[in-house]
Each structure stands twice: as structure tokens, then as C-alpha cells.
Structure 1
Amino acid sequence: MVVPMSPGGGSDMSGRSIAAGLEPVTGKTITVENQEGAGGAVGYSNYLTYNGDPGYLLATETALINLALTQDVPFHWTDFTPIMKVGQDSTMMIVPTASEFNSCTDVVDAAKEGTLKVAVSGSVTGNDAIQFGLIEQSEGITFQRVPYESGGEAIAALLGGHVDVGLANPSEVLGQMEAGEMKALCVIAAERYEYEALKDVPTTVEEGIDVTFAQFRGIIAPGGISDEAKEYWIAASQAYVDSPAYTEYMETNMMQKDPLFGDDFAAYLEQYEKDLEAGITTE
């Protein structure tokens, strides 16, 4: 299992959890290898070299789409074989518990008054950058963006006081929230999370910020594999979704269940690309 991001972030957690969940249904040992760099571009580009080899999987997410839309990279999602969309999660705007900000509206107001440093993980054109950019466009503000390679590094910078505000998925910061180190100001979504620990976090829409964004997570195989190999991994993924390990992963990481497989996942990626391209163009 290739993870094209650094250890400690949401993509790394996703890849390791899915690999562990696939082991009992396949009877295989699935090791995890981080191939980080350039916000995922290094790992995805290197994955092209495994073309035709069904012995590899890659833990994918939104960077698969936005990197090809925003940077000169050698890959497109159609170069690979979509296997499974595990589900999706929405990002939360986060700050240290001691922060003066208590809402996303507070953050927007502060940005209108002066310089506000925000942590941008992945790359300058990654998910964080897109979401902050959409908020800038919606609210007529400008953030000072500080780039970090991974979500884990961005969170560390936020806790260390190097930046004022960050974005994270629940799985990346739930531990810090439970420990009283961080607080979530809002969810970048139209609807709240239903999980008990997050149900009181308002949405951007509730706060009058007309911006929403959902990140998918899943797995892809290399391009050029046989139909038999593709169906093998789809069947294994379907068995994983029916297992207690899947339910535990989704609930532990507070993700929204929405599994898709094979061609259905490919159709989702095609539409997601169109929607994301429209958002980037708007920005």
C-alpha cells in the first residue's frame, strides 16, 4: 500500500487502516510505504512505474484530482485503476484552545483587519489552499499562507504558535481536541457531522460563509492491470466494507460512509474533477 503523503496525516491513517482491514479478507500481508513529496505528486508520479502490476495499491484522496488540475504533473486519474471509494470527510477549521477565535466568522473578521497566518498542508495548490482560497473569494479577504508537507506538520506548527489557523479532518485532530489542546471553529460543509464529539460544531453555511468542500478517500490500483486483477481487488474491497474493521475505521475517524467500487468510483472521480475544476476556476 503506497501512501503518497507523510506519516501522521489523514492520508497516512487512511492507508494504514485500509491495509490492515484488507489483510484478513485477502489472507495477504499488506505493507505500507510512504512516498511523500510535493503534496503527493512524488508518490502519484512514481506509481506510474507500477503499471500492470496488481501487487500494489495506493491510498488516494482529493490530491489525485487537484494536482493534475493545478500543476504540471505527469499523471491523471485515468492513468490508474479506481478500486474503491471508502467514504468522505469534511474539513474543520481549527485553532489552539487558547486562541481568541471562537468561530469561523471571528477568523474572517480578523483577516479583514490585519494579517492572519494560516497553515496550508499538502502543497500551495492542495486541498487546504483550495479551501482557504474559496473562503478568500467568498469573503473578500486574504490570508498569509504558510506551506507544510503534511497535515501532521501543519498541526504541529499550529500547536507551536507558528500559525494562527489551520484546517484538518477529524481523524487528524480528534486526539488533540479530546485532550483540550485544540478546538474546531466550524466544518467546511453544508451539514454538521452527526458524531457525538462533533455534532455541536457549526458549519460554514450556518455562519454565513458560502463555502463547502468534501474530501474523498479510497484506493486505486496501477493502470494496465488485467480485468481479473481489478475484480479481485474490488471483491476484496466489498468484503472489507462488510467487515467490522470498516465500521471501526469509519467511526474512529468520523468519516461519512459512502462506498463506491470500480466503474462507479471512476464515474464519481469524473464528476468530482468537473466540480473541482469549476471551483478552482471560480477562485
Structure 2
Amino acid sequence: MAPSKPGGGFDLTCTLTTQALAVLRPSITVQTRYLPGGIGAVAFDQAATGRLGGSGTLVAFSSGSLLNIAQGRFGPHGIQAVRWIATLGTDYGVIAVHQESPYQTLAQLIKALRDGAPRLVFGAGGTLGSQDWMKAALLARHAGQEPRNMRFVSFEGGGEAIKALQGGHIQVFTGDAAEAMRALNQGATFRLLAVLSPHRLNGPLRTAPTAKEQGIALVWPTVRGVYMGAGTPDAVADAWTAAFTQAHAAPGYAALCEAVGLQPHRLTGAALQAFVQKSVDEYQQLAKELGLQMWKSQGLKQAP
């Protein structure tokens, strides 16, 4: 289940899941369905309340999902509301502009922000407070601007946002490298100003400079994985966890990740639970620093 419209990062997570399981067990048939709404909120609520699930239903999540949980944007559900099964890979943020944009470098875009460019509109697959909004907010803060004053348009998935960028409806796309690579491979045209990774990526995006090498200390990793409904029996969840553990160790797994623009990120079981909790704690603190409203959720520790 991709909790978005086709073409974005959740869709990509489903693609990688399908490929990884096919290598491990060719007899398994996996189909992707789409349930957009609230950038994952609808799917999470249905999984947490038992309306979405079953022994064969895996739901894609990302670091952005954990960020939304940290802010209470997924309703009254904490991290214990679903069964976290596995992470698959790490994506990294990108800053992109229209192919005919006047901005050739990240420095030029930063200067425009610093000068208060009045028509500069950001857009991505997320709402106020989402991880894509966070990338734009951190960029604005670096330019000395108040993040809450920037113009940001929300889309139901990165694929929709990239279409808007090409159509000139937004000026800056703050999405992820993998969804950008998929769009470019499918014929999309836009200019990548920076990848928000600690080093240049391999593959088709190897020519895209990092923000770090351009003097902007901005790195944004996005971990992608899958979870299951709260009512999933232990035996079923354990079986899927074992399957992904085997898939992680299978020859060629790293190549599968690289083919879709991800770096391998292999977590299951207790290590995954610890990662989820740590991520939520850190995101709560970042959200407070950026002045975002925090909604109460059950099972969450409130950052001081």
C-alpha cells in the first residue's frame, strides 16, 4: 500500500519491496495499491484502528511519516499503534528548479531568498511541517528568513509536485533524490541545484552537487520502509520480518537499492523500534525549534 498518489517516494518504496521479495521468493505476487490522504495519515489511521491490514498488507512509510507522528499529525496514534516491519533504504533530499529558472546554483537561490524574492514559491509532496516543508524551511532559515513566512504549496506526493514544477506553478521543488531520478528517467525536465546528502550520490545523479560542497551545511536523509496494521498476529509479523531480514542479506540487494536511487538501510526488529523512537524524539525537537504547533498524540514523549 502506497499512502499517496502514484509517482512519489511511497510508490518507490513499494517498487523496491516488490523487487526485493521477488528475488527472495519468486512465487510471491505483490501488487501496489494507492490510498492517498494526509501524506500517509489516512493509511496510518486505518492501520492503527484495524480497518486496513491483513496478513498480506504492507504499508510504505518514510522518515516523513515519523516526523508527522512526532507532531501529532497522524491523529491520536503513537508509534506503538502499528507493527514496524523493516526499513529498506535511505533517500536524500534535493533542491530543484524549473529547467528555465534564472537560478543556476544553490548560492543564487539562497541570495534570492535573502533578498526576499516575492514570487518564489516552494512546493513538494507534503504539508506545513512535513519533511519536504522542513527542507524548504531550513533553506529559508539559512538565508535569514522566517520559515513560517515562506510560500509553500502542498501536493499529495512528489510526482504531483514535479509536474507542477515543470508547469511553472511552483519555482522550487524540495523533494527526494529517488523520486527526482525516477521522474528524470521518465522524461521529466528540471534543474537539480543540490542533493542534501553528505557526499555525491552514485548513478544518474552523480553530477548533481551536494549542498555541503556548495558551502550550505544542509543534509536531509529520508529512510524508507514498511509497517503493518496493529492487529497483525505476532506470527505473521515475525514471518514478514524474517523475510525482509533475508532480503537484506541477499546478493544484489544493494544494487536493487542503487537502481532506484537509494542507499541500503537494513533494520528490523528491536533495532528498528529503537530507530523509530529516536527519530520521533529528534523530530519533535526540530519542530519546536522551527515554531511548529505540536498536537497531542498518545504514546509520545513530549520534547522539553
Relative to the length of structure 2, the TM-score reads 0.84
Aligned in 2, Cα 1:281/1:104: closer, same or farther, shift over 3 Å? same
Amino acid of the structure 1 residue aligned with 2:9: G
Q: Where do 5+ consecutive residues of structure 2 fail to align? A: 291-304
1:33-91 deviation digits (Å, cap 9, x = unpaired): 21111121111111123388433211111232122223261322221111111111111
Shift of 1:20: 4.3
Contact kept? 1:191, 1:203, Cα under 8 Å? yes
1:190-233 deviation digits (Å, cap 9, x = unpaired): 3222x043233222222232322111101112224333222211
Shift of 1:128: 0.8
Is 1:97 the equivalent of 2:99?
A: yes
Counterpart in the other structure of 2:281: 274
The residue correspondences of 1:193-232 to structure 2 (distance < 5 A) are 193=201, 195-232=202-239
Relative to the length of structure 1, the TM-score reads 0.90
SS of residue matched to 1:232 = helix
SS of residue matched to 1:274 = helix
The residue correspondences of 1:1-283 to structure 2 (distance < 5 A) are 2-23=1-22, 25-26=24-25, 27-50=27-50, 53-70=54-71, 71=73, 73-113=75-115, 114-115=117-118, 116-141=120-145, 142-177=149-184, 179=187, 181-193=189-201, 195-243=202-250, 246-283=253-290
Contact kept? 1:40, 1:122, Cα under 8 Å? no
For these two proteins, the number of residue pairs brought into alignment is 281
Mapped to 2, the partners of 1:31 and 1:206 lie a distance apart of 40
Contact kept? 1:65, 1:76, Cα under 8 Å? no
SS of residue matched to 1:210 = coil
Aligned in 2, Cα 1:72/1:175: closer, same or farther, shift over 3 Å? closer
Aligned in 2, Cα 1:236/1:267: closer, same or farther, shift over 3 Å? same
Shift of 1:244: 5.5
Aligned residues: CA RMSD: 2.2
Q: Where do 5+ consecutive residues of structure 1 fail to align? A: none
1:156-204 deviation digits (Å, cap 9, x = unpaired): 00000111110232222225546572221111233222x0432332222
Contact kept? 2:223, 2:265, Cα under 8 Å? no
